[in-house]
């Protein structure tokens, strides 16, 4: 069980972060700030697939750009769903364009490269990307989509994102909830 590292708070935040100890501190910090939450059993489910709308919510909350009046007209974003205002807020601020002109990709797993692209869009103009290391030569670099190459390099050289072992980035691999929290 992860107990909060925030002074004065000795509450068990999540019971299952032993599955992702490498991200536990980041998840704890985001939970205390109200940016991430777990289920009714105090499980974060760090290795579960990260859906597009879940990551968009985390970005919107982390950036403080939630706007309950924001609007969007993606066909798969229903106004009565919990994610509507988050996606609309992200759209209003230019973070999301959708997976097409008409779809936001609700319910779809978020790829690692799209997670990185969204994170860079959210951070640009708000933080500097300091170069802490040289760009890795990933064995699957040709698989990184053209639109994501610059974002992957920015986050990799700044030490924010890593590969997945064996010199692979796995751009089309599915992001997990722990990976999303760590990037935020």
pLDDT given for residue 12 in this prediction = 66
Residue 69 CA to residue 89 CA, distance in Å, equals 8
How confident is the model over 27-46, as a mean pLDDT? 94
3-state DSSP of 138-173: CCCHHHCCHHHHHHHHHHHHCCCCCCCCCCCCCCCC
Residue 114 CA to residue 97 CA, distance in Å, equals 12
pLDDT at residue 184 is higher than 80? yes
pLDDT given for residue 126 in this prediction = 87
- Asked whether the beta carbons of 143 and 115 are under 8 A apart, the reply is no
Tokens of 140: 């699957």
pLDDT at residue 7 is higher than 50? no
Angstrom CA distances, 127 to 83, 102, 109, 135, stand at 26, 31, 27, 19
pLDDT digits (tens, 9 = 90+) for 127-170: 888 999 999 999 999 999 999 999 999 999 999 999 998 899 99
pTM of the model: 0.89
pLDDT digits (tens, 9 = 90+) for 83-111: 999 999 999 999 999 999 999 999 999 99
Residue 175 CA to residue 112 CA, distance in Å, equals 5
How confident is the model over 3-21, as a mean pLDDT? 71
């Amino acid at each position: 069980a992860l107990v909060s590292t925030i002074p004065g708070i000795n509450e068990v935040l999540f019971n299952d972060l032993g599955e992702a100890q490498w991200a536990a501190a980041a998840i704890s910090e985001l939970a205390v700030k109200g940016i991430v939450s777990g289920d009714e059993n105090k499980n974060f489910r760090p290795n579960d697939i990260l859906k597009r709308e879940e990551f968009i919510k985390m970005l919107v909350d982390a950036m403080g750009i939630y706007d309950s009046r924001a609007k969007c007209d993606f066909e798969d974003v229903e106004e009565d769903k919990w994610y509507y205002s988050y996606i609309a807020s992200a759209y209003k601020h230019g973070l999301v364009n959708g997976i097409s002109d008409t779809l936001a990709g609700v319910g779809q797993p978020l790829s690692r490269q799209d997670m990185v692209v969204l994170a860079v869009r959210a951070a640009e103009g708000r933080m500097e990307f300091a170069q802490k290391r040289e760009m890795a030569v990933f064995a699957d670099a040709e698989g990184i989509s053209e639109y994501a190459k610059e974002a992957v390099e920015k986050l990799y050289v700044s030490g924010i994102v890593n590969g997945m072992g064996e010199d692979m980035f796995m751009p089309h691999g599915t992001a997990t909830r722990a990976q999303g929290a760590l990037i935020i």
